[in-house]
Structure 1
Amino acid sequence: MNIETLQYFQYIGKYKNITKAAKHFFISQSTLSRHIMSLEEELGVKLFERDNKKIQFTEAGEALYNECELLIRHLQIVINNVQLADKGNTGTLRITSPGKLCKTLSDALILMKEKYPSINLIVESYNFNEIPCAILYGIYNIGFTYDFACSDYDELEIIPVGTDDFSLLIPSKFYKNPSKESIAEIVKSLPLILPTYIEPPFMKLIIHEFQRFAGIKKINTIYVNTTESVVFDVSLGLGYGIVPTSLTKSKNSDENISYINLDDFSAKGTIVMLRKKSNTSEIVNSFVDIIKDLSKKDLKE
């Protein structure tokens, strides 16, 4: 199994069409088909159901497609690490965060550079609900996310490093200067837009309070794929959303969006740092210790 073949498989699944996938890679359909047949033979399963018009995943194909992106990235990391080791450079620390969740991360990076001047630091953005899996797959050594996104991962060490508020996200063209007194009207006039992934445990309590404020039994709710989609839809005036304040404000400066902080609703999430328990390298341990020390200082202050 190699990256090239996995990418071919991924794009056939994306387009549901061998011709379009072949054009994407500028190769012939026969070449693409040979790669897929080789992959099926290697795995001992059938990945696609084919007919004259289109192709569909088998259950095995669906399972591979769902893991394909992480698998490709993991293989790329392994290859890169091997090449770095061959050059005598093994000091690489890979960190991921969905955005500027807390100042602790930037402070820790400065201290890490001072301690290891030649270290290769790689910091990348990732969807916060997918970060636990990315750590388990070894794509990153350290991840920052919210506690409610990683409650069922026994293989991970989960270290609290801060908190984040949640806010109501509202289209400014309907409510130019919204306040908490506006919530009842907003709830009655617009649909609530939420991402489909894991919801914070307090979300039901917030929604219940909104229902009470508005005097309604049920809130009209629309589900979209990501928090970014929530922000986009709200900016278009399609509804209102409930989002992590720090994460969303750090990525968004859209004048079409206004915020109402929901601190009165006990709407807080714990920001956590993740690392795989089995990863006990010196570099990872040093970074974890720096984060722990900074977090203790923040708590005292």
Structure 2
Amino acid sequence: MDIRHFRYFLAVARQGNFTRAAEQLGIAPPTLTRQIQDMENELGTRLFVRQTREVSLTEAGAALLIEAEATVRQFEYAQRNAQRAGRGDIGHIELGYVASAVYSGLLQKQVQAFSRECPDVSLNVRESPMASLPAMVLEGRFDIGYVRSPMTLPEGLEAIRLDAEGFVLALSSESWLCRLTEIGPEHLQGETFILPEQISGTLQVAAEGGFAPKLGAQPGGLVAVLALVSLGQGVAVVPESVVGHVGLPGVVYRSIKGCEASSWLSLIYRRFEKSAAVVRYIERVKNR
């Protein structure tokens, strides 16, 4: 017996008539009769009491009815789940991000939009140091990750370029630079630069100012960087999205006159991703 026999049995049990059940199933009545007889022969017992126009369940048939309904229901549930998983409607995604993805609002926008579209896909979202995030995606500890580019990615990863933004200067409110009406790259030559995880902005600003930067500590996330700035340990070139989102006592933000340096967020993922849910997230970001 297979699931088809259970469907046939249930149709006859519900209709109480072979002809009506055959019409419902879209098969010929003799075919349905033969299938039910095959079931009875395999089980070694009668399932129906045949009368002239109607049929009724035997005691064995009544016992089978409960199990057949549960079996068909579970089979259909398994089918639907397999189809949904194949479409990426259900599943799980491990997502890593750097802090600036939150400050820009991009992470919230994309995660919330995906969750509305695929409410049965669970997401575990965790902040991660940018230096280790690509390797964690490649190794499968994360499925996807938001990083700040430009950065070199290991073989096997791809990136989708997302929103770009410029840089601002974070400095102590006690710094002499605060007295300047405008701050240009050339004014920063003697400053110590506290380094965020993405140092391209620092290097570009120094290049525009025509000097080699004096590099200070690289403490990790942006809050740690700004904490050192607030202590007067140096200045920092940070993404402009932090303005209005991260405020620490003793830290002020100033634009850098003529600075053309910029960076952008990227979504990184494995080149040959197999999870349908992850692929669906990636495709949604690509087609945003």
Please state which band the TM-score falls in when normalised by the shorter chain: 0.5 to 0.7
Matched, 1:255 2:233: no
Q: Which residue of 1 aligns with 2:281?
A: 287
Percent identity over paired residues: 18
Unaligned residue ranges in structure 2 (runs of 5+): 1-89
Secondary structure in structure 2 of the residue aligned to 1:206: helix
Quickly say closer, same or farther: Cα 1:126–1:262, change in 2 above 3 A.
farther
Q: Which residue of 1 aligns with 2:205?
A: 206
Q: Which residue of 2 aligns with 1:125?
A: 127
TM-score by length of 2: 0.59
Shift of 1:129: 2.7
User: 1:251-294 CA deviation, whole Å, 9 max, x = no partner?
Assistant: 62113111123473211112110111122211011111111222
Q: Is the 8 A contact 1:170 1:257 kept in 2?
A: yes
Q: Which residue of 2 aligns with 1:28?
A: none
How do residues 120-269 of structure 1 correspond to structure 2 at under 5 angstroms? 120-149=122-151, 151-174=152-175, 181-183=182-184, 187=188, 190-195=191-196, 199-200=199-200, 203-211=202-210, 219-228=213-222, 229-246=224-241, 248-249=242-243, 252-262=246-256, 264-269=258-263
How far apart are the structure 2 equivalents of 1:205 and 1:147?
A: 13
How far apart are the structure 1 equivalents of 2:213 and 2:202?
A: 13
Q: Which residue of 2 aligns with 1:56?
A: none
Quickly say closer, same or farther: Cα 1:218–1:203, change in 2 above 3 A.
closer
Secondary structure in structure 2 of the residue aligned to 1:265: coil
Secondary structure in structure 2 of the residue aligned to 1:95: strand
Q: Which amino acid in the other structure matches residue 165 of structure 1?
A: G
TM-score by length of 1: 0.56
Shift of 1:203: 4.0
Q: Which residue of 2 aligns with 1:92?
A: 92
Shift of 1:230: 2.5
How far apart are the structure 2 equivalents of 1:264 and 1:177?
A: 17
How far apart are the structure 2 equivalents of 1:218 and 1:290?
A: 42
Quickly say closer, same or farther: Cα 1:190–1:111, change in 2 above 3 A.
closer
CA RMSD of aligned residues (A): 2.9
Shift of 1:176: 8.8
Shift of 1:155: 0.5
Q: Which amino acid in the other structure matches residue 96 of structure 1?
A: G
Q: Which amino acid in the other structure matches residue 207 of structure 2?
A: H
Secondary structure in structure 1 of the residue aligned to 2:146: strand
Quickly say closer, same or farther: Cα 1:263–1:286, change in 2 above 3 A.
farther
Secondary structure in structure 2 of the residue aligned to 1:162: strand
Quickly say closer, same or farther: Cα 1:236–1:102, change in 2 above 3 A.
closer
Q: Which residue of 2 aligns with 1:78?
A: none
Secondary structure in structure 2 of the residue aligned to 1:160: strand
Unaligned residue ranges in structure 1 (runs of 5+): 1-89, 212-216, 295-301
